[in-house]
Amino acid sequence: MKPHISKPRGLVWTKKGTATRGLGPWVFVGAPNVVKVWNIQTNVEFNLDAATGQVHAMVVGNEMLFAGTQDGAILVWKGGSETNPFRPAATLKGHTRAVGSVDHTIRVWELETLQCVITPNEHSDVVMSLICWDLYLISCSLDCAIKVWAATKEGNLQVIYTHSAEHGFLDLSGMTDSEVEPILLCSCSDNSVRLYKLPSFTERGRLFANVRTVEVGPGGLFFTGDAAGLLSAWKWTNDAGFKVSLHEPLLWWASCKKAH
């Protein structure tokens, strides 16, 4: 069985722009001082108050909505009544600012109690993204490092591997290729997206564009959003390469060869 790669149930903030998330028929969009909510089945629309600045990131977990805001707080809503589907549950505080993790830390929150239980601090610059791979946590930072974390018997997290580069890392996502091998997708500050095979971190290929975010979709697709506002959809091919599926705004794209 191949290890499963997924976005963790945690928060990492982006430097600019809004955040968008969905839960069943509900769509959430982060904006300054508010989370806008739409029900795409009933066309119901309302706002969740987030009067702490721009909402930079959102995630859903344990039937709760978490929103990371500009002042460093994480606002939490739980399911409510039919007339008010989301009610405020808590405000989690700890980060000094909500632009990436500017304090260089990763905070682990217990979803049942909404308490911060661990604060690992191994990066030397902004922590930009997190991803789960099997039993491991993978983090990336502007300090030019990707770190792999494992849980200890004492309940802490420790770094078991560091992949270093000459550029910072902006975003992580993960998927399996056409041969069901786990692949880590890394958006980088040198205007590239690098694809690494796990667990070896063997480079499988690169895309060259000013990509800010990478997300995995259904059917073997992954999506990149660049600084020009363009969205590209990519799909792995049977020859262990990949191709642009919808359009090709990128300057160059590679047909990756198998790693030997």
The pLDDT value recorded for residue 67 is 87
- Residue 8, token pair as written in the block: 């963790």
pLDDT in tens, the chain (260 residues): 344 444 443 343 333 344 555 566 777 888 888 888 888 788 888 889 987 788 877 887 778 888 888 777 889 998 777 777 888 888 887 654 433 467 788 888 777 787 888 888 899 998 888 888 888 999 999 999 999 999 898 888 999 999 999 999 998 988 888 788 899 999 999 999 999 999 999 998 888 888 888 888 777 788 888 777 777 888 776 655 555 444 443 333 333 322 23
The answer as to whether 218 is a domain residue is no
The answer as to whether 179 is a domain residue is no
Which CATH number do you get for residue 42? 2.130.10.10
The answer as to whether 258 is a domain residue is no
**Residue 184 CB: number of other CB atoms within 10 A?**
25
The helix/strand/coil state of 53 is strand
The answer as to whether 86 is a domain residue is yes
Using alpha carbons, list the distances in angstroms from residue 85 to 129, 153, 246: 30, 39, 36
The answer as to whether 18 is a domain residue is yes
What is the pTM for the complete model shown? 0.69
The answer as to whether 158 is a domain residue is no
Domain count of the fold of the chain: 1
The answer as to whether 146 is a domain residue is no
- Those residues whose C-beta lies under 8 Å from the C-beta of residue 260, and which sit 6 or more positions away, are none
The pLDDT value recorded for residue 166 is 93
Radius of gyration of the chain (CA): 19
Residue given tokens 């969740």 in the structure block: 48
Among candidate residues 114, 117, 65, the one with its CA nearest the CA of residue 92: 114
**Residue 178 CB: number of other CB atoms within 10 A?**
14
Taking the CA of residue 9 as centre, how many other CA atoms within 13 Å lie in the half-sphere pointing to its CB? 11
- Residue 107, token pair as written in the block: 């905070």
Angle at alpha carbon of residue 209, lines to 207 and 214, rounded to 5° = 70
